[in-house]
């Protein structure tokens, strides 16, 4: 993936969450309509859009949007999931679920300020 989008009513709060909790780098100053963040891998981009703004015609790209909570899964360094769990909890972010999968991988689930489900994945969870 090159980029993916999550929707947030409060884009600024969501951008701050991804920057401070998950260590993503802002690519430009966010505003109430959108934010762009570079993932730590240095290549992929997470876009945050206010859904009303994303549905507006004439923005130079096709309209898009979703209602309700979205989901994104982010791969973390092998063996680092316990460190991530400690990190997010130290920032007051509740861990919604910790799960070990049949293939040996593990996931840590939390919520961003817009209630999107954020999964941190360590190891294999899908067949190759």
pLDDT tens by residue, 24-68: 999 999 999 999 999 988 889 999 999 999 999 999 999 998 888
Residue 127 lies in a domain: no
Q: Strand 3-7 vs strand 45-49: parallel, antiparallel, or unpaired?
A: parallel
Q: In the block, which residue shows the tokens 């780098």?
A: 25
Could you give the number of structural domains in the chain?
1
Main-chain phi, psi angles of 101, to 5 degrees: -100, 160
Residue 128 lies in a domain: no
Q: In the block, which residue shows the tokens 């909890």?
A: 89
Residue 94 lies in a domain: yes
Segments forming the whole domain that contains residue 8: 3-122
Tens digits of residue pLDDT in 73-105? 999 999 999 999 999 999 999 999 999 999 999
Instruction: Tell me the CB-side half-sphere exposure of residue 60, using CA atoms within 13 A.
Output: 0
What CATH number did the domain enclosing 69 receive?
A: 3.10.180.10
> What is the model's pTM?
0.93
Residue 60 lies in a domain: yes
């Amino acid at each position: 993936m090159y980029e993916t989008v999550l929707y947030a009513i409060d884009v600024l709060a969501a951008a701050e969450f991804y920057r401070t909790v998950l260590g993503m780098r802002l690519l430009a100053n966010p505003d109430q309509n959108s934010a762009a963040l570079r993932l730590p891998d240095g290549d992929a981009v997470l876009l945050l859009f206010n859904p009303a703004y994303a549905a507006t015609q004439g923005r130079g790209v096709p309209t898009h949007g979703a209602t309700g909570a979205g989901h994104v899964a982010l791969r973390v360094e092998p063996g680092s999931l316990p460190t991530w769990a400690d990190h997010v909890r130290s920032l007051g972010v509740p861990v919604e679920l910790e799960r070990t999968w049949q293939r040996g991988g593990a996931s840590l689930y939390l919520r961003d300020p817009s209630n999107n489900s954020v999964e941190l994945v360590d190891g294999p969870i899908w067949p190759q």
